[in-house]
């Protein structure tokens, strides 16, 4: 992940420059590899770079040859190789960066530019000739992005990867909505990502599940996310979603190793590939053959997990790693480690949501370990539960239509929950998380399946159809993707799976820090947004230490639907204990 900060139409941009650089520095953790800035007219772009693709030449902001269009991007454009080939007009690329293709796309497609992109991204583009700014965020909000204004600088518009860049200079901050583009010509946000499943939630799909199509779509999604010129790995909790991603990534790693030996010759020392002694260009990405080109070939895929001692997820993750043959790293953390990190976690998350903080803390600690091992990019399993109705409360869905509409709501809010967690917990240490389940082509397949196929029944565990898609027991010539006990393992929310003692300790510590009297007399500036538990109250107080009150409007609380429980933990849903009680009886 990179970090960006931008201000358009500042009344004195040169005078503002030192402040802009300071605001950019506030997200240097996202991009520790290099810093850059560009001023044109009354606009400044600031960029903090994490180099993953185009390592040797992709410093930002990116500028065209004529110095008329500048661009600051956080993210990855997986289809940039294809896009370069489809340009109608000649464009002299200045770098090998996957992101530079956005500039010629703008010159040809104007405000429709983001429709052509396949990737995760937040970007700000400035056209000097027209003194115009376009800004866009990826369809599902995988990368974090905020937009702000300030009453003391009317007319100016600010953009940043994280809210902490905007709070010192803006008094009005919003989450830049996923799938939207901002155009300064109209000063409006307009939706560009508009698939039928998203914009017509009452139109219930009737397409039967095609297991082969579903499997192929996820495999393709994982493959394109291996685009990198630096060491990468997979986050492996031992749950279904991360295990499937790890399994596919391992198959792709082995396949690419074989191809490199058979077809491409000797691997270059810089991660490119040599053919007949010549180094192939650095344009890593999906090409029109649907294959990755010049991807770095790893000797062995690294996988990472974390938990308290004896945590359910850590045990399951090791089983998966042993089955797949990854180079696995299990890290233990103590409850004290987690508690000590809480304030920093909330500062990086920019949230006081209970579920997000519970799950982000171990992910934050794990990311620090991963960074220490010089790994810059990891694949992760976020999004599957939203797409397939995997949370245990979905057992209570009243109908297929109700389930479908709830999955859309969850996907639409991912940028305020699990995407926020995955993005900010990892980028706090200069690590980039990529999420295959949220690929827009995969979503087109998965979200258009008849939701009756996703319903939980007596014979169907949560996420049955994605499990079934990777069940090869009836395919004797296809090796198993995962052991059956993992493929059919019940859902554990990450904050539970790292060890049940973690959530219990958070509740106990909150009880000590927040009195009954404090609960009866919440802060006046909170208005109607009053925490409903001592744990939530505790987190809100820590949030207030870092951010002014108006920043709270960017936070959403994660709560289960169709449940009377106020605690968002999966363990609070009755079916969780019921399932384990049944398993215990079977073993007895």
Burial class of residue 398 (count of CB atoms within 10 Å of its CB; 0-12, 13-18, 19+): exposed
Would you list which residues are annotated within the binding site for L-glutamine? 98
Nearest to 498 by CA among 398, 293, 351, 358: 358
**End-to-end CA, the chain:** 49
CA dist 385 and 437 (Å) reads 9
Q: How far apart are CA 27 and CA 24, in angstroms?
A: 6
Binding residues for ATP: 235, 306, 380-381
CB 265 within 8 A of CB 334: no
* 395 within 8 A of 154, measured Cβ to Cβ: no
Cα pseudo-dihedral 496, 502, 506, 507, rounded to 10: 60
7 beta partners: 44, 158
Kindly calculate the radius of gyration of the chain based on its CA atoms and give it in whole angstroms.
Answer: 23
Based on the number of CB atoms within 10 Å of its own CB, is 200 exposed (0-12), middle (13-18) or buried (19 or more)? Answer: exposed
2 is a catalytic site residue:
yes
Opening angle at CA 37, ends 63 and 118, nearest 5: 55
Residue 35: exposed, middle, or buried by beta-carbon count in 10 A (0-12, 13-18, 19+)?
middle
Query: Beta 327-332 vs 302-307: how paired, if at all?
Result: parallel
Please report, in range form, the residues annotated as the binding site: 98, 235, 306, 380-381
Measure the CA–CA gap between 370 and 425, rounded to whole angstroms.
12
Q: Of 402, 406, 400, whose CA–CA distance to 386 is shortest?
A: 406
Cis-peptide, bond into residue 421, ω within 30° of zero:
no
> Annotated catalytic residue: which of 2, 165, 170, 551?
2
> Which residues belong to the active site?
2
């Amino acid at each position: 992940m990179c970090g960006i900060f931008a201000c358009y139409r500042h009344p004195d941009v040169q005078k503002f420059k030192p402040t802009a650089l300071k605001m950019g520095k506030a997200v240097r953790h996202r991009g520790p590899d290099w810093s850059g800035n560009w001023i044109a007219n009354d606009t400044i772009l600031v960029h903090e770079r994490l180099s993953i693709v185009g390592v040797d030449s992709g410093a930002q902001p990116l500028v065209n040859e004529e110095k008329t269009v500048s661009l600051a991007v956080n993210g990855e454009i997986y289809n940039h190789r294809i896009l370069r080939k489809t340009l109608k007009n000649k464009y002299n690329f200045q770098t090998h960066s996957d992101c530079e293709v956005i500039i010629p796309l703008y010159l040809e497609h104007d405000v429709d530019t983001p429709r052509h992109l396949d990737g995760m991204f937040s970007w700000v583009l400035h056209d000097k000739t027209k003194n115009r700014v376009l800004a866009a965020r990826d369809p599902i909000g995988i990368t974090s992005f905020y937009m702000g204004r300030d009453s003391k600088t009317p007319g100016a518009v600010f953009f940043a990867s994280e809210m902490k860049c905007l709070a010192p200079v803006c008094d009005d901050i919003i989450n830049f909505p996923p799938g939207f583009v901002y155009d300064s010509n109209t000063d409006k946000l307009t939706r560009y990502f508009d698939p039928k499943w998203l914009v017509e939630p009452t139109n219930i799909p009737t397409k039967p599940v095609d297991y082969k199509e579903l499997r192929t779509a996820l495999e393709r999604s994982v493959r394109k996310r291996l685009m990198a010129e630096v060491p990468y790995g997979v986050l492996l909790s031992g749950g279904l979603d991360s295990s499937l991603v790890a399994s596919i990534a391992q198959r792709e790693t082995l396949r690419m190793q074989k191809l490199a030996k058979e077809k491409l010759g000797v691997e270059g020392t810089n991660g490119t590939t040599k053919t007949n002694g010549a180094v192939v260009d650095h344009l890593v990405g999906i090409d029109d053959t649907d294959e990755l080109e010049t991807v770095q070939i790893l000797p062995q895929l690294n996988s990472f997990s974390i938990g308290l001692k004896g945590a359910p997820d850590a045990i399951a993750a090791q089983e998966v790693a042993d089955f797949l043959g990854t180079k696995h790293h299990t890290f233990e953390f103590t409850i004290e480690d987690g508690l000590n990190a809480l304030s920093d976690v909330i500062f990086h998350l920019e949230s006081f949501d209970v579920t997000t903080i519970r799950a982000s803390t171990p992910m934050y600690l794990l990311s620090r370990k991963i960074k220490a091992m010089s790994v810059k990019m990891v694949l992760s399993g976020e999004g599957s539960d939203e797409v397939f109705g995997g949370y245990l409360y979905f057992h209570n869905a009243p109908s297929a239509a109700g389930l479908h509409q709830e999955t859309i709501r969850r996907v639409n809010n991912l940028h305020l929950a699990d995407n926020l967690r995955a993005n900010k917990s990892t980028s706090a240490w200069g690590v980039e998380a990529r999420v295959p389940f949220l690929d827009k082509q995969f979503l087109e397949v998965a979200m258009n399946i008849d939701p009756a196929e996703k319903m939980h029944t007596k014979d169907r565990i949560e996420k049955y159809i994605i499990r079934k898609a990777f069940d090869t027991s009836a395919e004797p010539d296809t090796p198993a993707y995962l052991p059956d006990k993992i493929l059919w393992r019940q859902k554990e929310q990450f904050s539970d799976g790292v060890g049940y003692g973690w959530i219990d300790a958070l509740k106990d510590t909150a009880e000590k820090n927040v009195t009954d009297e404090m609960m009866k007399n919440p802060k006046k500036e909170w208005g109607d947004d009053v925490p409903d538990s001592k744990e939530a109250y505790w987190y809100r107080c820590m949030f207030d230490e870092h951010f002014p009150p108006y920043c709270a409007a960017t936070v959403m609380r994660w709560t289960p639907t169709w449940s009377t429980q106020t605690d968002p933990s999966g363990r609070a849903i009755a079916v969780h204990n019921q399932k384990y009680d049944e398993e215990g009886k079977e073993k007895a």
